[in-house]
Structures are given as structure tokens and as C-alpha cells.
Amino acid sequence: MFQEIADVLTAEECARLRDIAKSARFVDGRISSPHSQVKDNLQIDSGGEAYAESSRLVATALQRNETFRNFAYPRIMAPPLLARYEPAMRYGLHSDAPFMQVGARPLRSDLSCTVFLGDPDTYEGGELAITLGTRQVTFKLPAGSAVLYPSTTLHEVLPVTAGERLVAITFIESQIADPVFRELLFQLDEVAALEGFNMSWENRTRLQYVRANLRRIWGEAG
């Protein structure tokens, strides 16, 4: 299941991130994936102040977004990283690593997230393309929007043919590891949000009982 979320970042936050990217040092993206034969992009140098500010800004925006929290059930989130694609750059078909080191512990990548920082009309190509059976689903969203998708999928960034693609990427370990269970809980939460006040108090309480106990059964603390 994919989830598009509009306006994760404000226009001012997007502008600030683009300003950071203009002056920050970017390095070969293969530093974080040295054995990849299909990765051709740039990523912000993780040793600088620019990285710290940009990562903190994107993480804060995601964490305050209710749809993100309700869809992802985040347990741990990797520090967001700015990635830049110049003309002819791409990231060929690949799957994300199942585990990543975040601080002192590994993160299991349940969900991947791309936050778009540039307006779609400022660059050509550069769509995020996710393989779904025999088809590809493509995403090229307005600045400030995000898309969440299962880290288990095969996906790629199509070649940029003009302009510059600037995004932030991160990975989430969910409290609900099973994607089917996570989707069911998300749908229950949506029903509760949309229909809760139309229900009797007794039925609202029963729905809350089901939601809470499914989270106990399916979830992981932390």
C-alpha cells in the first residue's frame, strides 16, 4: 500500500531546505551503497552542519504529521538525507537494505519515504517508479509532499533529463511489522476518524476496544 501525503513541509521549510542544498557539500551517493551498479546520484555530506539542520527539519515535519503517524506507526526513523539528481543521473531498479544502523541499534526497513523538495515543473524525468506486478506506479509530487511505500518493493528513480531533482529520503521501522496488519489498523483509524461522532458512545467504545487490542497483539513496543 502506498500513501501520498500533501503539505508535509510548508513552503517556507521547502525554501529553507533548497537554500541549504545550494551551499551544502554533496558527495557521491554510492558512499552509502558502495556495491551498487545502478546508483548514480549525490547526497548531502553527513558530516556537516547542513546535514544536521536539514535532517532535523524534515524529521520534525514528518513526526508532526498525523497521517504519517497513523499510516506508518513509526517506531524508529532513520535521519532523513537530502539527495540530488542532476541531468542524466538516476537510481536504477533496486530494493532497499532490510536493516540499517541507526545510532546504537539496527533499524528494520519496513517503509521507505521520499519527500519532494522541488516543484515538478523545475525538472524533467526523475519520477519515483515502484514495481507492482507487471506494471510500474510513478510518483512526482509537488514540493512539500511525501510518499510512503513498502521497503520490500523493487523501485527506481527514472533518469533526470533536465533541471535538478531534490528530495529527502528516510526509512521507518514500524511498530506494526506486518504490512497487512498495518493497513487494517490504518483503515480502522480512518473509519474511527470519519464516522466516530456518528456512532453511539457504546459503539465508539467497542471500536476503540478492537483497535487498541489489535495494536497490542500485532505491535512492538518502543
Binding site members for Fe cation = 94, 96, 155
- Nearest by Cα to 184 from 159, 154, 215, 153: 215
- Residues contributing to the annotated binding site: 94, 96, 155, 165
3-class state of residue 133 by DSSP: coil
Sign of torsion, CA 105 106 109 115? positive
Q: What are phi and psi of 31, to 5 degrees?
A: -55, -40
- Residues contributing to the annotated binding site for 2-oxoglutarate: 165
Sign of torsion, CA 13 109 107 63? positive
Sign of torsion, CA 199 203 209 210? negative
Q: How far apart (Å, rounded) are the C-alpha atoms in residues 91 and 93? A: 7
Rg of the chain over all Cα atoms, to the nearest angstrom: 18
